[in-house]
Chain A
Amino acid sequence: MNTLTLWFHKFGSPPTFFRVTALLSPWLFGAAFLIGLAGIYWGLFVAPADYQQSDAYRIIFIHVPCAWMGLFAYIFMAVNAFIALVWRIKISEILAMTSAPVGAFFTAVTLATGSIWGKPMWGTWWTWDARLTSELVLLFLFLGVIGLYNAIEDRRQAARAAAFLALVGIVNVPIVHFSVSWWNTLHQGSTVRLLGPSRIDSSMLWPLLLLALATHIWFFASVFARSRVSLLELEGGKEWARDIALATEHGHE
């Protein structure tokens, strides 16, 4: 077994996962907060105003990173759901289920900020074009996964049922991403492109990328924190969980 698989196996064991994420958590939250603060300051105060929209464009510094995170969270959830369904790895079940509320939050923020921007710029809060509709479907998929997971009593069965929904819903992700190029939509096309030049000035691109980094780190910090709680709930009777409980109790005395 090479080091990578070994590390993977170790990370997949509940006690190790719990210990590693406990060590990582404060650093991740701290880094996300500081980078996010720097990005917000850069985006809102330092970056120049747009030639058409002047200051109103600054909402993209929230809207775009959140939109990316919504899709990223969904892919992360679906990959973990896949592993959970095939290999029945406990950590994957938990990671898939805990990323759903975080992804739902990012998607809701995307829809809200897009709507606030859409009213003055497009002239409407909402329109049923392909991008907006598929993004709304993404939110409903997240909510469906959360709902299904909480509707079934047995935690592991619930995770498997919800993982199935999460996995099937992955077909919506390419639709969200490519909707603006497949159909005539009111929503504009992609500004930041991996292939070819981006259609944004570099003075505006950097704070955007910084905020994207911050939201990614925040996502993992948040998912890990939720996963640790879920893990303790699930493994409450196990020896390692009892050891941790006892250790924290002693620490409080």
Chain B
Amino acid sequence: MTPTRKRRLILVGLILVAVAVATALTVAALQENMTYLFTPSEIVAGKAPADARFRIGGMVKEHSIERGQSLTVAFVVTDGDDDMRVEYEGILPDLFREKQSVIATGSMQGGKFIATEVLAKHDETYVPRDVAEAMEKAHRKHDVPATADKPTP
């Protein structure tokens, strides 16, 4: 390798390392601010802002969906440890149902979460319908809890 090329190689390599380190530090510093959502237990622990808008994420608790007049709906979001009651008025996404991971945007009002938007978080599993039905049947037969829905990380 000629000296010029060697010099260029070192220079370009150093720039790459510098940029990588800068990015890694930025990403690490942003880790706190990049929080997309809070779980119910984090809200109970007081980590979520008290009067600002934020997102809550978790699973819709079984038998907790109450449909009110027209489009009003109330349900309980859980992360396994704590529960949070969410109230919403609007159209829900197709995937919304019990035991589905959801993300709601809104703010706390008197111990309840008043949502202005509810999004369904899809998990990364793709299973044909007949396979899913067969699996569920087998689960029921052997009394194993269904594991198709992954709890929110």
Contact flags (1/0) for A174-203 with B, using CB distance below 8 Å? Answer: 010000001111101111000000011101
CA distance A85 to B5 in the complex (A): 9
Complex interface: stretch among A32-40, A46-54, A101-109: A46-54
Contact flags (1/0) for B98-120 with A, using CB distance below 8 Å? Answer: 00000100000000000001111
Complex interface: stretch among A124-132, A226-234, A239-247: A124-132
Interface centre among B31, B57, B95, B152 (most CB of A within 10 A): B95
CA distance A130 to B35 in the complex (A): 9
Pairwise interchain contact A85-B119, C-beta atoms closer than 8 A: no
* Chain B residues within an 8 Å CB radius of A122: 93, 95, 119-122
Interface centre among A54, A87, A123 (most CB of B within 10 A): A123
Pairwise interchain contact B34-A188, C-beta atoms closer than 8 A: no
Listed in ascending order, the chain A residues whose CB lies under 8 Å from chain B are 48-54, 56-57, 60, 82, 85-87, 120-124, 127, 129-130, 167-168, 170-171, 175, 182-186, 188-191, 199-201, 203-204
* Chain B residues within an 8 Å CB radius of A54: 129
CA distance A201 to B127 in the complex (A): 5
Pairwise interchain contact B27-A175, C-beta atoms closer than 8 A: yes
Out of B91, B124, B129, which one reaches A191, CB within 8 Å?
B124
Out of B5, B12, B119, B152, which one reaches A123, CB within 8 Å?
B119
* Chain B residues within an 8 Å CB radius of A48: 128-131
Subset of 17 A-B contacts with CB under 8 Å: A49-B128, A51-B148, A82-B12, A86-B9, A121-B93, A121-B94, A121-B95, A184-B35, A185-B36, A186-B103, A188-B121, A188-B122, A190-B124, A191-B125, A199-B124, A201-B127, A204-B126
Pairwise interchain contact A49-B126, C-beta atoms closer than 8 A: no
* Chain A residues within an 8 Å CB radius of B95: 52-53, 121-122
Complex interface: stretch among B13-21, B61-69, B70-78: B13-21
* Closest B residue, CB atoms, query A183: B34
CA distance A204 to B153 in the complex (A): 26
Out of A51, A87, A127, A188, which one reaches B119, CB within 8 Å?
A127
* Chain A residues within an 8 Å CB radius of B125: 191, 199-200
Contact flags (1/0) for B3-41 with A, using CB distance below 8 Å? Answer: 001001100100110011001000100010011110000
* Chain A residues within an 8 Å CB radius of B130: 48
Q: A82-B12, A122-B93 are in contact. Are A51 and B132 (CB under 8 A)?
A: yes
Q: A53-B95, A130-B34 are in contact. Are A168 and B122 (CB under 8 A)?
A: no
* Chain A residues within an 8 Å CB radius of B92: 123
* Closest B residue, CB atoms, query A171: B23
Pairwise interchain contact A50-B122, C-beta atoms closer than 8 A: no
* Chain B residues within an 8 Å CB radius of A191: 124-126
* Chain A residues within an 8 Å CB radius of B93: 120-123
CA distance A86 to B1 in the complex (A): 11
CA distance A129 to B36 in the complex (A): 7
Pairwise interchain contact A167-B123, C-beta atoms closer than 8 A: no
Shortest C-beta distance, A39 to chain B (Å), equals: 16
* Chain A residues within an 8 Å CB radius of B126: 50, 57, 60, 191, 199-201, 204
CA distance A82 to B13 in the complex (A): 9
CA distance A54 to B118 in the complex (A): 21
Shortest C-beta distance, B108 to chain A (Å), equals: 19
CA distance A238 to B112 in the complex (A): 75
Shortest C-beta distance, B12 to chain A (Å), equals: 5
